[in-house]
């Protein structure tokens, strides 16, 4: 009886480990067809937006805002139909992340712990408010890592508004593009 129990436990562990390892293999995906024309349209939009946003952030003396806003540019122009690219997510995600990070930085200062806490809180808040936008987490990291101060909200707020405006104007010039898909 004891040997039978040992064998069952051993088989169960073996099956569990095999299942676990099989998950890491991933699934096969079909051949992806790249629309080069659409990618060039997206790249041109990114170029226009990041030049304008970079000018603004440099003028306001917050060049570190270019990184998270640049990541948002890529998402908004290349994945303009995606949920994470919509205005609610872009504006809400950046403002929520930046403000949360500024509060945490004001309370805890710069440390590995505060960087980790900022990301956890930002993820939870964006999930709860349905404003998930991954580049916004970079805004939070910039706040704590560079100790930007509350003035960092200005280039982030202006940057996301400029980005949304440019994206609406530019993406809707093309017949097969529509931005935004939804506002709220």
Side-chain-side CA neighbours of 57 within 13 Å: the count stands at 26
pLDDT class of 62 with cuts at 50, 70, 90: very high
Q: Is residue 179 part of a domain?
A: no
Q: Is residue 166 part of a domain?
A: yes
- Structure-derived torsion over alpha carbons of residues 52, 54, 57, 61, reported in degrees to the nearest 10: -130
Q: What was the pLDDT predicted at 26?
A: 77
Q: Is residue 180 part of a domain?
A: no
Q: Is residue 134 part of a domain?
A: yes
Which residues span the domain enclosing 142? 34-171
Q: Is residue 19 part of a domain?
A: no
Q: Is residue 176 part of a domain?
A: no
Q: Is residue 9 part of a domain?
A: no
pLDDT at 172 over 70: yes
Q: What is the DSSP string of 41-75?
A: HHHHHHHHHHHHHHHHHHHTT-GGGHHHHHHHHHH
Give the pair of three-digit tokens for residue 70.
Answer: 């640049």
- Cβ(50)–Cβ(70) under 8 Å? yes
pLDDT, tens digit, 9 for 90 and up, residues 67-123:
999 999 999 999 999 999 999 999 999 999 999 999 999 999 999 999 999 999 999
Q: Is residue 73 part of a domain?
A: yes
Best CA proximity match to 80, nearest among 37, 45, 30: 45
Q: Kindly report the pTM of this predicted structure.
A: 0.84
- Structure-derived torsion over alpha carbons of residues 120, 121, 126, 127, reported in degrees to the nearest 10: 60
**Into how many domains does the chain fold?**
1
């Amino acid at each position: 009886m004891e040997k039978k129990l040992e064998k069952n436990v051993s088989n169960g562990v073996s099956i569990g480990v095999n299942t676990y390892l099989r998950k890491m293999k991933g699934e096969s995906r079909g051949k992806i067809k790249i629309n080069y024309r659409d990618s060039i349209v997206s790249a041109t939009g990114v170029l226009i937006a990041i030049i304008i946003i970079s000018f603004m952030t440099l003028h306001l003396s917050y060049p570190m805002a270019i990184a998270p806003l640049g990541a948002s540019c890529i998402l908004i122009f290349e994945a303009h139909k995606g949920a994470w690219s919509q205005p609610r997510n872009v504006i809400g995600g950046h403002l929520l992340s930046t403000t949360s990070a500024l509060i945490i930085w004001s309370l805890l200062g710069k440390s590995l712990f505060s960087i980790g806490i900022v990301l956890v809180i930002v993820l939870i808040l964006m999930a709860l408010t349905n404003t998930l936008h991954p580049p916004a987490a970079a805004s939070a990291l910039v706040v704590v890592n560079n100790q930007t101060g509350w003035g960092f909200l200005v280039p982030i707020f202006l940057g996301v508004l400029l980005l949304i405006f440019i994206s609406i104007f530019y993406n809707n010039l093309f017949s097969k593009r529509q931005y935004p898909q939804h506002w709220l």
